[in-house]
Structure 1
Amino acid sequence: MLLRCGLGDAWLLWSTSGIWSTLQTAGLTIDYFDFGFLLNGECRNLCEKGFDRIGSIRVECGPWVGYEQQSFTGEMFMLEKGEYPRWDTWSNSYRCDRFMSVRPVRMDPQDHKICLYECMNFEGRKMEVCDEDIPSLWSYGFQDRVASIQVTGGTWVGYQYPGYRGYQYVFEMGPYKHWNEWGAHHPQIQSIRRVRDMQTHRRGCFEMTA
């Protein structure tokens, strides 16, 4: 998968094999495999594009979120600028090599702010995070049970385990009254970080490749 973008435009190219070629089109230079296609928006079913398996991914601009199953369901995979040579480099759980749908992440220009709640419906203990990445909620005196979330600024990704490991959950602007609303089977989050839009946040919290 290759993502190219101009000012405000996102382009995604997918492939399953390993032979690189070059295509000049619409003023963009696009590297692609011998079998691939270009996307500029969401895709609910990659099988309809002729892809039942994704071998590697390159993101030039983004971010995007991929899903294990069709129609944006199943395990989530956060994709930011960089290269993902194997399925286990985008699947932090190391349990899933399926990649069946993808969409651009909605980015909010406001400062990052998120509130984590111990219980459903924004009840119980509360932890507010502003413009900071938290590799371990325990180190900040908060338990691993997070049952509801309110995002009032920016876009975030939460992780099942400390150190940004395990299942990933993308949190865009808005309320999440129950952990089912972010695709989790259990109310467990132990680390959380900001998602950066590389067009507006030049100093991202992840490594950029040349």
Structure 2
Amino acid sequence: MNKIIVYEEEDFEGFRKEFTCSVPDLRSVDFGDCISSLKVIGQPWLVFRDPNYKGVGFAYEEGEHKHIQLSNNISSLQLVTEDLEDPQITLYEHPNYEGISKVIKEETNLSYGYFNDKASSHIVQKGAWLLYEHPRRGGWYYIAREGTKLENYGPLYHFHDKCSHVYPLKSGRPRIQQKVAVRTQVGNKYLVCSIKPPQQLCMVCSSIYAS
């Protein structure tokens, strides 16, 4: 299950709430402008300074984040629902998808190639991407979602000829939600065992490990 757990204080202290779907206005659930740390399970989540997923936003992938951007200034939460497998984005040299184009399918440091600080528009074919101002995921970034187009980085975002790094958001590893039975053959015998959360089953080697 995709889930975000948000905490009132840093280091996962204070009041907490859990959400499994997007929340356009955290004040409607009595948790506006008070989040200081969070945990993400499954798909990434986006946090925004303003209600209705507007204003400055940041992305968080699966994991524990005890110090976050926009601490005590988060007003809405949005679950990333796109299929994040096989991501693809096309960057264009000029506004309106003109000029030289570059198709990207994985994390790329543009400063190592010929397209550094050259993009002025883009189209996202698959996944969700972070477009960074500086190499190595540095500086300000723009969140680009599947099926969206941005025809001109200049007037609204002042991002013209500034993109130096692109990163596709990734989902967390699959988790077992229900107790299951595992049947393994050992010689002429079959062994049957059951596992349940928080353990996980490696589908490649059938080994069991704790999450």
Normalised by the length of structure 2, the TM-score is 0.70
1:63 aligned to 44, 47, 54, which one? 44
CA distance, structure 1, for counterparts of residue 140 and residue 163 of structure 2: 9
Q: Give a deviation string over 1:16-40, Cα, whole Å, max 9, x none.
A: 03697xxxxxxxxxxxx55222212
Q: Give a deviation string over 1:45-90, Cα, whole Å, max 9, x none.
A: 2222222221111112221111122211122211101121112xxx
Instruction: Please report how far the alpha carbon of residue 151 of structure 1 lies from its aligned counterpart in structure 2 after TM superposition.
Output: 1.6
The answer on whether the counterparts of 1:19 and 1:34 sit within 8 Å (CA) in structure 2 is no
| Aligned position for 1:17 | 9
Once the two structures are superposed, the pairs formed by residues 1-210 of structure 1 within 5 Å of their partners are 5=1, 10-17=2-9, 34-51=14-31, 52-87=33-68, 91=69, 96-97=70-71, 98-108=73-83, 111-130=86-105, 132-135=106-109, 137-179=110-152, 184-187=157-160, 188-199=162-173
Q: Which runs of 5+ in 1 are unaligned?
A: 21-32, 203-209
Larger Rg: 2
Instruction: Please report how far the alpha carbon of residue 176 of structure 1 lies from its aligned counterpart in structure 2 after TM superposition.
Output: 1.3
CA distance, structure 1, for counterparts of residue 65 and residue 108 of structure 2: 24
Q: Taking structure 1 as reference, are residues 151 and 58 closer, same or farther at Cα in structure 2, changes over 3 Å only?
A: same
Supply the AA of the counterpart residue of 1:84.
H
Report which of the two has the higher share of strand. 2
Q: Taking structure 1 as reference, are residues 114 and 60 closer, same or farther at Cα in structure 2, changes over 3 Å only?
A: same
Instruction: Please report how far the alpha carbon of residue 109 of structure 1 lies from its aligned counterpart in structure 2 after TM superposition.
Output: 5.5
Q: Taking structure 1 as reference, are residues 59 and 50 closer, same or farther at Cα in structure 2, changes over 3 Å only?
A: same
Q: Taking structure 1 as reference, are residues 54 and 154 closer, same or farther at Cα in structure 2, changes over 3 Å only?
A: same
Supply the AA of the counterpart residue of 1:161.
H
Q: Taking structure 1 as reference, are residues 184 and 167 closer, same or farther at Cα in structure 2, changes over 3 Å only?
A: same
Q: Taking structure 1 as reference, are residues 146 and 19 closer, same or farther at Cα in structure 2, changes over 3 Å only?
A: closer
Normalised by the length of structure 1, the TM-score is 0.70
**Equivalent pairs: percent with the same residue?**
23
Aligned partner of residue 142 in structure 1, secondary structure: coil
Q: Which runs of 5+ in 2 are unaligned?
A: 175-201, 203-210
Instruction: Please report how far the alpha carbon of residue 139 of structure 1 lies from its aligned counterpart in structure 2 after TM superposition.
Output: 1.2
Q: Give a deviation string over 1:84-134, Cα, whole Å, max 9, x none.
A: 1112xxx3xxxx54222111112225522211012221112211112x211
Aligned partner of residue 112 in structure 2, secondary structure: helix
CA distance, structure 1, for counterparts of residue 100 and residue 27 of structure 2: 43
